[in-house]
């Protein structure tokens, strides 16, 4: 499959699914080549912003601000970046009930990081972002020379959302972040490996993994709200080096088939990477 054939295939998949917009960025460590479609287009990040938050957490660990085993008091009260008004993460809108069940107790930084990535806990995300600080997290991304990622706030900050202040990502930005992690250059080799270990535990597998052979391994992070559905990951196949693929999609709220579309695009990229379709 040629570059042009993959571009045509991805566009056709998007059109057939009635997606409003699609962006894809991929990097192949086997051949040191890159491929992309609309890589610089901004999308609402949804839960893919948790990868940049994870990076900022491990930079803070590297700076010895705290340790993976440091204990954090679990609470559900945060302050909007707009006016400082208090808000909470509704339990019903969180993918993980375990962190809510721990309110009033302590969890370690490592446990919160796992909850944030593996089951996409919004409460764990806000606890970690409060611990690091939004400005410190943004500064960490600058130090890593990562553009195409705009981290502005915690999740479920309705006042910020109404003011148009949202976390945004591009396919190129997330691809660069995952490349750093796979290369062992995200903060340190040890930090990169720790983040990879967490990303490998991802439980939501109906996107990128669903388009791959059963023996493929994927370290990834998904994200979905009413108007977007994303998946960004590192794919490991037997007999070759890994590749990174980021798939960002935008939708009208009433259109279905989002995960199936991401899986189809994942399959097309896989065939492009491996020469599986001619």
pTM for the predicted model, two decimal places:
0.95
105-115 mean pLDDT: 97
- Which residues constitute the domain of residue 251? 1-41+170-278
* Residue 97: predicted pLDDT: 86
pLDDT in tens, 121-159: 999 999 999 999 999 999 999 999 999 999 999 999 999
Same domain, 115 and 199: no
Same domain, 66 and 146: yes
CATH code for the domain of 149: 3.40.710.10
> What is the three-class DSSP state of 169?
strand
Residue 11 CB coordination number (10 Å): 14
Q: What is the C-alpha separation between 94 and 163, in angstroms, rounded?
A: 22
Q: What is the CA radius of gyration of the chain?
A: 18
Same domain, 11 and 1: yes
pLDDT in tens, 160-199: 999 999 999 999 999 999 999 999 999 999 999 999 999 9
pLDDT in tens, 219-274: 999 999 999 999 999 999 999 999 999 999 999 999 999 999 999 999 999 999 99
- Per DSSP bridges, beta strands 149-150 and 106-108 are unpaired
Q: What is the C-alpha separation between 238 and 248, in angstroms, rounded?
A: 26
* Listed residues 119, 145, 169: the one ending a domain: 169
Please list the residues that pair with 86 across neighbouring strands: 79
Structure tokens at 197: 């270990």
User: How long is the chain?
Assistant: 278
pLDDT at 277 over 70: no
What backbone torsions phi and psi does residue 222 show, to the nearest 5 degrees?
Answer: -100, 170
Same domain, 157 and 178: no
* Number of domains observed in the structure of the chain: 2
Same domain, 198 and 232: yes
Same domain, 61 and 198: no
Same domain, 95 and 207: no
* Listed residues 120, 135, 169: the one ending a domain: 169
Taking a C-beta distance cutoff of 8 angstroms, is the pair 162, 54 a contact?
no
- What is the chain's mean pLDDT, rounded? 95
* Listed residues 169, 188, 211: the one ending a domain: 169
H/E stretch holding 175: helix 171-183
Taking a C-beta distance cutoff of 8 angstroms, is the pair 83, 165 a contact?
no
Same domain, 187 and 278: yes
Same domain, 142 and 197: no
Same domain, 54 and 154: yes
Same domain, 176 and 263: yes
Same domain, 129 and 163: yes
């Amino acid at each position: 499959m040629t570059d042009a054939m993959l571009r045509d295939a991805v566009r056709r998949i998007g059109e057939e699914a009635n997606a409003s917009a699609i962006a894809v960025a991929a990097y192949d460590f086997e051949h040191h080549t890159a491929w992309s479609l609309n890589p610089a287009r901004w999308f609402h990040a949804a839960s893919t912003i948790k990868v940049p938050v994870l990076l900022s957490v491990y930079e803070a660990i590297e700076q010895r601000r705290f340790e993976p085993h440091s204990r954090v008091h679990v609470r559900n009260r945060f302050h909007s970046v707009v006016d400082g008004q208090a808000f909470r993460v509704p339990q019903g809108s969180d993918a993980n009930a375990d962190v809510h069940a721990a309110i009033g107790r302590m969890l370690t930084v490592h446990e919160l990081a796992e909850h944030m990535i593996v089951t996409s806990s919004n409460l764990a995300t806000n606890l970690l972002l409060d611990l690091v600080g939004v400005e410190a997290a943004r500064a960490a991304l600058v130090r890593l020379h990562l553009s195409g990622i705009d981290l502005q706030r915690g999740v479920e900050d309705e006042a910020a959302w109404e003011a148009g202040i949202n976390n945004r990502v591009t396919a190129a930005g997330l691809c660069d972040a995952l490349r750093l992690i796979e290369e062992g250059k995200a903060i340190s080799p040890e930090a990169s490996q720790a983040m990879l270990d967490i990303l490998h535990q991802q439980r939501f597998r109906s996107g990128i993994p669903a388009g791959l052979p059963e023996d493929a391994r994927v370290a990834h992070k998904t994200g979905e709200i009413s108007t977007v559905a994303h998946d960004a990951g590192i794919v490991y196949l037997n007999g070759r080096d890994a590749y990174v693929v980021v798939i960002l999609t935008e939708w009208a709220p009433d259109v279905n088939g989002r995960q199936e579309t991401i899986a189809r695009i994942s399959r097309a990229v896989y065939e492009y990477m491996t020469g599986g379709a001619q």
